[in-house]
A and B are shown apart, each in its own frame.
Chain A
Amino acid sequence: MYEFDFVKPTTLADAIAALGAEEAQALGGGQTLIPTLKQRLAAPAVLVSLTGIGEMQGIELGEGQITIGGATPHAAVAAEVAAAYPALAALAGNIGDPAVRNRGTIGGSLANNDPSACYPAAALASGATIVTSNREIAADDYFEGMFTTALEDGELITAVRFPVPEAASYQKFEQPASRFALVGVFVAKYPEGVRVAVTGAAEDGVFRWSEAEVALSADFSPAALEGIDCPAEGMIADLHGTAAYRAHLVKVMTRRAVMAAAG
């Protein structure tokens, strides 16, 4: 790692102020950022830890919606939303490994927007609202491609608000080495329709598979997917799978998610 200064504010206001410094960067749980720093792929002058800010922690179970503080670790989400939103809890409980889940945070994951991360699929499929230090951003407007989001410099994810669906499931097919999603599909059924978000597969990061959404909104069953294929164009091709393989997995995982959610 390159040398940097470390600050650990205890309020959001102090964090925002600290992030105003030249080359300052926010540090959530660090489960992606620290390995990146170790490879010397980033060189912040100041790291602003978000782990000491009480107002960014915790989970609020409301009527038909769940609000998760941006600095809430995956393990807390897995434990605390299990009854209210089981698919989201299951997703959180399968990110990385237990030690990673004790440190990694939802805000960190969404801010980083790794194309193989799990949380972006949940946020997009749930039509979640990304609450930042400045504004609220609809998930549909938030993800702008691999490692790219609508966040501006110095803007922090303070919370994420998930409307609770009638039924949902996340199905992840793991990349054999990293155990990130080679393809992960989150299907969520709301009164206004079904949303299907896919992570891991596409070069532009998480996306909604609209064709499947239309079919599943009309008939929420695996049969509805017959005759629909996810195009291979724009899919990631690497040593773990071709674009065609990923496109195929999108359909398989979508079908499994529908079966699990409907079951």
Chain B
Amino acid sequence: MPKDHGIGASTKRREDVRFLTGAGRYTDDINLRGQAYVHFLRSDMAHGRITSIDTAAAAGMPGVIRIFTGADFEGIGGLPCGWQVTDKHGQPMQEPAHPVLAQGKVRHVGDPIAAVVAETREQARDAAEAIEVEIEELPAVIDMKAAVQEGAPKVHDDLTSNLCYDWGFVEENKAAVEEAFQKAAHVTTLELVNNRLVANPMEPRVAVGDYDRAGDESTLYTTSQNPHVIRLLMGAFVLGIPEHKLRVVAPDVGGGFGTKIFHYAEEAFCTFAAKAINRPVKWTASRSEAFISDAHGRDHVTTIQLALDAENNFTALRTETYANMGAYLSTFAPSVPTWLHGTLMAGNYKTPLIYVNVKAVFTNTVPVDAYRGAGRPEATFQLERVIDKAAMELGVDPIALRRQNFITEFPYATPVAVEYDTGDYHATMDKLVEMADLDGFAARRAESEARGKLRGLGVNCYIEACGIAPSNLVGQLGARAGLYESATVRVNATGGLVVMTGSHSHGQGHETSFPQVIAEMIGIDESMVEIVHGDTSKVPMGMGTYGSRSIAVGGSAMVRATEKIIKKAKTIAAHLMEAAEADIELKDGQFSVAGTDKSVAWGDVCLAAYVPHNYPLDEIEPGLEETAFYDPSNFTYPSGAYACEVEVDPDTGKVTVERFAAADDFGNIINPMIVTGQVHGGLAQGIGQALLEGAVYDENGQLLSASYMDYAMPRATDVPFYQVDHSCQTPCTHNPLGVKGCGEAGAIGSPPAVVNAVVDALRSGGSGITHIDMPLSPARVWAALQG
């Protein structure tokens, strides 16, 4: 019987009630007294020098309160980058300034030039149109390889070139890798593009700045995955506001997928402007604005080579990747193609020698940063595509080739600097083969062919590194922050608990799953535990939610804090029962003395802590509240095997996903319903990347896919019912819950399965095709079929 409460139960989500009745409170639902509205005048040119800005006419328009330009931000910090990568020569990356409002130059379509604050949204927009800006157009650099050619126009005049860094990993392996390639019996080479994506959480970004003159305190309400990180970056690096004078609130947030991690200019602007005009200032992005101002994701161009010996063992792997940074360095941009990508290049395989080269490039495009998976999907895609191509070239079964090269012993130290603690890749593959009914594929293919369609099957594995940490390691790798998480558990006198966590929920269901853990530890009803998150004034510190880290890192912090609570409560219980602390046991919310029938209820102990009439005041303080910071000792390593079956209409090139099966190993599971839902969403995003989505610029830097009219979002008709299983569980060995993280797996593991399946389908029809770049749109598939 599945559990009906606690760890492992599919508890229904308590937050759903407010979302289903329209009672959710998103940032755009917040309206403050006296609020003014800002509209940003954005560059419609990809690259240019601002020669003049005349705001005089606009300033006189109805409702205009004040107009800001880059000049208002001189002497104020720019938007900081949170990660410094060191290049293969040991030099720090090139790091350009990133002003809140453009100063001197515009560097991408959407770069904010001026901001009009007015009484209404429409008045602000009306006035923005009346600002006269003269810009001398400069040639735009869009293509990454062209951008690093000698003599290419420079995005930043003060940098030596458009190359942010040229990273080699592991540089010491390079010679040995070369040697292995020379000795190889077979080398498979694949050039591919990991398409640029727009995260597109359904809630566009919003910021509301507020300033309290009495306390000299600023408050920012924002659509963020990590309000504490915003408080730190904006307070310390941009506006110079100490943390005790700055409150950042991220209330209900309508999806993030990475793009709401970063600190954006609009947040700093609203906070700054609220103080400047002494009124709340609100900004709500339109979807069109989101396309040209939210950080994009992916955008890698890679050549990957796999060396095999005569027995088809992988002997070496090398890659060369161009990674687009866009026009500025977004908060975590430099880490994505390097530490979140290079360290995953071993995948599930015991390839002994690996060398990864990444050239990060500035272009006149929107900044690129983490999007669901961040670096790991790029690594997985290359690796799993090149393995399929190798199997094709060698005429061997792609599953057998993978199995032959699986890592089977743990812990396993990869040649790319990480140590996998646990995993069982054969087990997930076995599960997948069963779920996906691979035995029935031939019959299904024959049935498709009878209807004039091509059917293909694609299988792949993935590994990811979640719960990014530990701090002392990431510090060495260039992170400018610690990556722990904090939790405060406050027990009320009546026995209820409030857990204040630095993890942030923007769809993940923390309000439901976190109490499952705490309630089980104490043996009380889940309804007695309340989760508070998303407000820096309520939660002491936090690093937020990204990299599938909430349960692995945030959850572990909660466990540690709760352990402290239980320890103190046992001391109180021992006193109340006049027993030795060592003899106190806690079960089902009752403290009892081992070997006796003496017991005292959880609630009575909590009451004693706050009404300490009979209390060990000489031993411990009254009250029951504890804080813990948890800094993990390693990443966690979820893994899995995915299978996709597609049908291709050779007349039109349209691909239909007929079946999708996912067998994941997430270690221990807190709420299976929520975990399954996370995988579903990831799969749709991965299928979206593979078949539909692509942010495309023309050679002048105009974004052609700048709305849902041209950027294809997956709809209900584009995906099937998925088969998802997470019964293969190798618990993480280094966190107290044995959990691994599940938020990104679906998006990491699915694109290669889809592409492998389409290539398989086309080849079954007689095509010699070996690769098609994503998205595999009908037009591209049809063109590929034409040869």
Is there a contact between chains A and B in the complex with CB atoms less than 8 Å apart?
Answer: yes
**Which residue numbers of A lie inside 8 Å of B, CB to CB?**
1-3, 38-40, 173, 176-179, 182, 238-242, 245, 248-249, 252
Contact A240/B779 with A39-B288, A177-B705, A178-B708 known, Cβ cut-off 8 Å:
yes
A239 touching B704, Cβ below 8 Å: yes
Contact A241/B778 with A39-B288, A176-B692, A249-B652 known, Cβ cut-off 8 Å:
yes
When distances are taken between beta carbons in the complex, the residues of chain A under 8 Å from B699 are none
Contact A3/B705 with A239-B696, A240-B779 known, Cβ cut-off 8 Å:
no
B779 touching A1, Cβ below 8 Å: no
For B282-317 the 0/1 string (1 means CB < 8 A from A) is 000010100000000000000000000000000000
When distances are taken between beta carbons in the complex, the residues of chain B under 8 Å from A248 are 782
Min CB–CB distance A107 → chain B (angstroms)? 23
A3 to B782, CA, bound (A): 46
A176 contact from B126, B778, B783, Cβ within 8 A: B778
B residues contacting the other copy or chain, number (CB 8 A): 27
B696 touching A178, Cβ below 8 Å: no
| The stretch of B11-19, B80-88, B710-718 that contacts the partner chain | B710-718
A31 to B485, CA, bound (A): 47
For B115-133 the 0/1 string (1 means CB < 8 A from A) is 0000000100110010000
Min CB–CB distance A18 → chain B (angstroms)? 24
List, sorted by A's number, 10 A–B pairs whose CB atoms are closer than 8 Å. Answer: A39-B288, A173-B654, A173-B778, A176-B692, A177-B705, A177-B710, A177-B713, A178-B708, A249-B652, A252-B651
A242 to B782, CA, bound (A): 11
Q: Could you list 19 further interchain pairs (A-B, Cβ under 8 angstroms) beyond the known A177-B713, A178-B710, A179-B715?
A: A1-B122, A3-B122, A39-B288, A40-B129, A173-B654, A176-B712, A176-B778, A177-B692, A177-B709, A177-B710, A177-B712, A178-B708, A239-B696, A239-B705, A239-B710, A240-B710, A241-B777, A241-B778, A245-B779
Q: Which 3 A-B pairs give the minimum distances between C-beta atoms?
A: A177-B712, A241-B779, A176-B712
A1 to B777, CA, bound (A): 34
Min CB–CB distance A200 → chain B (angstroms)? 13
A255 to B696, CA, bound (A): 32
A252 touching B652, Cβ below 8 Å: yes
A238 to B692, CA, bound (A): 15
When distances are taken between beta carbons in the complex, the residues of chain A under 8 Å from B694 are 239
Binding site secondary structure of chain A? loop
- Which residue of B is nearest A38, CB measured? B286
A242 to B704, CA, bound (A): 15
A246 to B778, CA, bound (A): 11
A40 to B39, CA, bound (A): 14
Most chain B beta carbons < 10 A, residue from A177, A239, A241: A177
A1 to B779, CA, bound (A): 35
B777 touching A240, Cβ below 8 Å: yes
Most chain A beta carbons < 10 A, residue from B122, B692, B711, B782: B782
- Which residue of B is nearest A3, CB measured? B122
Mark out the residues of chain B between 101 and 149 whose CB falls within 8 Å of any chain A CB in the assembled complex.
122, 125-126, 129
Min CB–CB distance A201 → chain B (angstroms)? 13
- Which residue of A is nearest B775, CB measured? A176
When distances are taken between beta carbons in the complex, the residues of chain A under 8 Å from B125 are 40
Min CB–CB distance B780 → chain A (angstroms)? 9
When distances are taken between beta carbons in the complex, the residues of chain B under 8 Å from A173 are 652, 654, 778
Contact A176/B122 with A239-B696, A245-B783, A249-B652 known, Cβ cut-off 8 Å:
no
Mark out the residues of chain B between 762 and 787 whose CB falls within 8 Å of any chain A CB in the assembled complex.
777-779, 782-783
- Which residue of A is nearest B288, CB measured? A39
A176 touching B652, Cβ below 8 Å: no
A180 to B710, CA, bound (A): 10
When distances are taken between beta carbons in the complex, the residues of chain A under 8 Å from B653 are 245
When distances are taken between beta carbons in the complex, the residues of chain A under 8 Å from B708 are 177-178
B651 touching A176, Cβ below 8 Å: no
A238 to B702, CA, bound (A): 14
A205 to B286, CA, bound (A): 30
A164 to B654, CA, bound (A): 32
A173 to B653, CA, bound (A): 11
A173 to B649, CA, bound (A): 12
